Amino acid sequence: MLAYWLAQKVDPRLARPLAWAITILGALLLAGGAFVAWRGAHDAKVIENHEAKTSVKLERTGRQADASAAQRAAARRRAEAQARKDFDNATAGIPDNGLSDRQRIDLCGELRDGGVDTSVIPECRDVRAGAQAAP
């Protein structure tokens, strides 16, 4: 049909080869367009799969980070509670009006015997080694 139409427009000897050339060119253009469309859909699918894997990995990593942060916070709260309990236990026996001279000298002696440099503790500066409080 294309050849008959072309025969009216161009030399009849060229109409048939020209019709084949146009047909082949059209088929190539159609195949090229189909390939480009398939390639775009294929690339989009590859990108979508990659993004899905990445988002799953990020979500998993985020959950692990959240769990780790929660564990660290719980451990910090337990340590703070234990430190508070130790402080309360250590200060429970201290009278509200402070230590007597005898208690201060005894405590400074215990610290010194334990290897602590008592010269940097203001309450122990005036206590000498072997000092005794008056009874």
Instruction: Count CB neighbours of 127 within 10 A.
Output: 21
Q: Show the DSSP H helices in the chain as ranges.
A: 2-9, 12-91, 101-113
- Tell me what the mean pLDDT of segment 106-116 comes to: 85
Q: Residue 118 has what DSSP assignment?
A: G
Let me know whether 27 and 60 are in one domain.
yes
Claim to verify: residue 104 and residue 38 sit in the same structural domain:
no
Q: Is pLDDT at 74 greater than 90 in this prediction?
A: yes
**What is the span of the domain harbouring residue 112?**
96-135
Total domains in the chain come to 2
* pLDDT beyond 80 at 13: no
Are 78 and 111 found together in one domain?
Answer: no
Q: Supply the pTM of this predicted model.
A: 0.33
Report the share of the chain in percent with pLDDT over 90: 11
pLDDT at res. 60: 80
Number of DSSP helices (H) and strands (E) in the chain, helices first: 3, 0
